[in-house]
């Protein structure tokens, strides 16, 4: 017979941490510190993110057997600190093969281990390359509470993981996660989790990783849902946080009696819950309600970009960044993001005027630097470019000036930026946006130079949108209005404008989005109303630019499908 209101609520802590891939010792310290906080708050169960000990995604580090052994040693070190309550710790387990695992730790030891059953192998994920999938559910009994364990992808599908846990009559589903962010994903993920809790008539606690890892950003937004799918607690986005919440298991029991969905499920032969030996945490004051409101779309994209820059620079040990400031909108937005992410003292702008650089561009770069409080260095390039052209004159004799001379200017700037980087250790931030990178409107070893490209997955339309939002939200003109309002130009020849080489961005960006992010073919986009000649031209430019993208710096994934791991196309191809 099921249980109804015969035990007290259980207190759960969600430890939303920002880990570093491969820093097992440092990640272990974060876990131990979080356990101390959770114990002080009276937590009976503390849930950590997926692979919290190794960081996510560890990629080919998992091919080294010693890596799994080091993770196991760290897990046993952590276990010694779990003297009250229990913890669910994401780790790697080697058991004849490599598993993405969640360890149930209590009473100073590892008592059970669950193996992730759904291994994502699409988009940015390659888990089937590294792990063997688990084949059985895990339900544990802790202080009278039936807790079902899931890891990230497991919970995205109603069957078999969630349905197995529902059939087992769990009171709580505890999901460890490292769910990468893109714009709008947090809302969609929360809707899915609410549905899963409601369908299973079980509370659901979801603990997600936070922070940047190479091109990925994790938004956190860990949450607690009741058995009806209502959000009862929510952690901050893009920040470390800890959520403490009390769960009344009687709610799920009563809901199963009123809405007996479980009776419609096929009967499954399953073993009973595994009892966990644990000491109840000392009583502590009520945690109150921790429910952080989600942020709006522009603020979310801004915060995701700031997080990605901050963590890429910090986790890789760069003392700061250097950015070529042209006076245009892309470099202005990149500088503003970097100043917010790192502090203005860590950002250096470099103004590199050529004979084609307008006075307005130079003034806008200076105004931007002053408004952000960043350093500004002037390195005129006219004499350097002239010397390059003089050296090449015998080779170019009899040939008209063309894009070659334009690219010499961009490559001169790239060389100077990299020289500053070599001398100071600062990271060069490339300023190209997704619209330009898509169609190859960029110069290899020129404006593509850099170690990180924050705007790589941001369309030109969104560049303008974010610039306007940044000025509005700050209540002042951080980014000069003329950088936003004047027609975009590379200023590599007299009176040059982007529209000389590209369709207008309000026409270009929807075609890029349809082709790159939604895999629409040319006929579908033409049927949707786009000009046939423009569609064919843009698609050809996208495919011919793949060789450039392969050589460019990585950047922050912001859309559901970014260039790189998300979209893996052959460089040599005739299908488009």
Among residues 72, 91, 152, 190, the one annotated as catalytic is: 152
Which CATH number characterizes residue 182's domain?
3.60.110.10
Q: Is residue 574 part of a domain?
A: no
Among residues 50, 72, 436, 543, the one annotated as catalytic is: 50
Q: Where are the alpha helices (DSSP H) in 373-476?
A: 382-396, 403-424, 434-439, 460-474
243, 98: one domain = yes
- Catalytic residue at 298? no
Return the pLDDT at 4: 44
CB 203 within 8 A of CB 226: yes
221, 336: one domain = no
271, 301: one domain = no
453, 403: one domain = yes
**Residue 234 φ then ψ, to 5°:** -150, 135
Q: Is residue 522 part of a domain?
A: no
pTM for this prediction: 0.94
Low-confidence ranges of the chain (pLDDT < 50): 1-5
221, 89: one domain = yes
348, 233: one domain = no
Q: Is residue 563 part of a domain?
A: no
- Catalytic residue at 460? no
Return the pLDDT at 17: 98
37, 102: one domain = yes
Q: Which domain holds residue 257?
A: 10-275
- Catalytic residue at 548? no
User: What are the angstrom distances between the C-alpha of 205 and each of 9, 167, 260?
Assistant: 14, 18, 22
Residue finishing a domain among 465, 498, 531: 498
Return the pLDDT at 234: 97
Residue finishing a domain among 446, 472, 498: 498
Which CATH number characterizes residue 325's domain?
3.40.50.620
Return the pLDDT at 506: 93
**Residue 375 φ then ψ, to 5°:** -70, 150
Among residues 72, 93, 116, 153, the one annotated as catalytic is: 116
216, 127: one domain = yes
Q: Is residue 250 part of a domain?
A: yes
Q: Is residue 260 part of a domain?
A: yes
Return the pLDDT at 251: 72
Please write the tens of the pLDDT for every residue from 188-224: 999 999 999 999 999 999 999 999 999 999 999 999 9
Domain total in the chain: 2
23, 135: one domain = yes
Within 10 A of 501 (CB to CB), how many other CB atoms are there? 12
Q: Is residue 540 part of a domain?
A: no
CB 246 within 8 A of CB 9: yes
153, 95: one domain = yes
Q: Is residue 197 part of a domain?
A: yes
Percent of the chain scored above 70 by pLDDT?
A: 96
Q: Is residue 572 part of a domain?
A: no
Give CA–CA dist 484/505, Å, rounded: 14
307, 172: one domain = no
402 contact partners, CB below 8 Å, separation of at least 6 = none
Return the pLDDT at 1: 35
429, 316: one domain = yes
Residue finishing a domain among 479, 498, 517: 498
């Amino acid at each position: 017979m099921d249980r109804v209101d015969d035990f007290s609520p259980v207190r759960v802590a969600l430890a939303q941490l920002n880990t570093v891939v491969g820093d097992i010792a440092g990640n272990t310290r974060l876990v131990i510190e979080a356990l101390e906080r959770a114990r002080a708050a009276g937590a009976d169960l503390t849930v950590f993110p997926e692979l919290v000990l190794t960081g996510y995604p560890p990629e080919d580090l998992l091919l080294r057997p010693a890596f799994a052994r080091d993770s196991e040693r760290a897990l046993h070190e952590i276990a010694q600190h779990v003297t009250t309550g229990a913890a669910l710790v994401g780790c790697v387990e080697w058991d004849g093969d490599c598993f993405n695992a969640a360890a149930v730790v209590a009473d100073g030891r590892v008592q059970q281990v669950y193996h992730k059953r759904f291994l994502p192998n699409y988009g940015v994920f390659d888990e089937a390359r590294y792990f063997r999938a688990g084949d059985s559910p895990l339900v544990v009994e802790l202080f009278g509470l039936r807790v079902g364990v899931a890891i990230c992808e497991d919970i995205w599908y109603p069957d078999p993981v969630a349905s197995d846990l529902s059939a087992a009559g769990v009171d709580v589903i505890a999901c460890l996660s490292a769910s990468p962010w893109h714009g709008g994903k947090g809302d969609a993920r929360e809707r899915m989790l609410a549905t899963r809790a409601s369908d299973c008539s079980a509370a659901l606690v979801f603990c997600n990783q936070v922070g940047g890892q190479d091109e990925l950003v994790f938004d956190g937004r860990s949450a607690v849902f009741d058995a009806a799918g209502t959000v009862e607690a929510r952690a901050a986005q893009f920040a470390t946080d800890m959520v403490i919440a009390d769960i009344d298991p009687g709610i799920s029991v009563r809901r199963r009696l009123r809405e007996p969905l479980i009776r419609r499920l096929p009967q499954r032969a399953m073993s009973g819950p595994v009892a966990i030996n644990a000491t109840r945490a000392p009583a502590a004051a009520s945690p109150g309600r921790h429910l952080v409101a989600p942020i709006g779309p522009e603020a979310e994209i801004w915060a995701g970009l700031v997080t990605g820059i901050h963590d890429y620079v910090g986790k890789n040990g760069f003392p700061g960044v250097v950015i070529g400031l042209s006076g245009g909108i892309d470099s202005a937005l990149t500088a503003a993001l970097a100043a917010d992410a790192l502090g203005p003292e860590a950002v250096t702008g470099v103004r590199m005027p050529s004979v084609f650089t307008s006075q307005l561009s130079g003034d806008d770069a200076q105004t931007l630097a002053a408004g952000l409080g960043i350093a500004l260095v002037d390195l005129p390039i006219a004499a350097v470019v002239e010397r390059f052209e003089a050296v090449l004159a015998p080779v170019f004799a009899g040939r008209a000036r063309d894009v070659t001379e334009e690219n010499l200017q961009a490559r001169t700037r790239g060389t100077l930026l990299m020289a500053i980087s070599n001398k100071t250790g600062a990271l060069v931030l490339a300023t190209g946006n997704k619209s330009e990178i898509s169609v190859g409107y960029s110069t290899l070893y020129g404006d593509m130079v850099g170690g990180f490209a924050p705007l790589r997955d941001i369309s030109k339309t969104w560049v303008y949108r974010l610039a306007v939002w940044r000025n509005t939200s700050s209540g002042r003109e951080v980014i000069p209005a003329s950088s936003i309002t004047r027609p975009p130009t590379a200023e590599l020849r007299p009176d040059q404008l982007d529209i000389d080489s590209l369709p207008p961005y309000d026409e270009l960006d929807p075609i890029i989005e349809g082709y790159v992010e939604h895999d629409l073919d040319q006929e579908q986009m033409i049927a949707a109303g786009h000009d046939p000649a423009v569609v064919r031209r843009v698609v050809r430019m996208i495919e011919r630019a793949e060789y450039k993208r392969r050589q460019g710096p990585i950047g922050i994934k912001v859309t559901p499908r970014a260039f790189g791991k998300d979209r893996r196309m052959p460089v040599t191809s005739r299908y488009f």
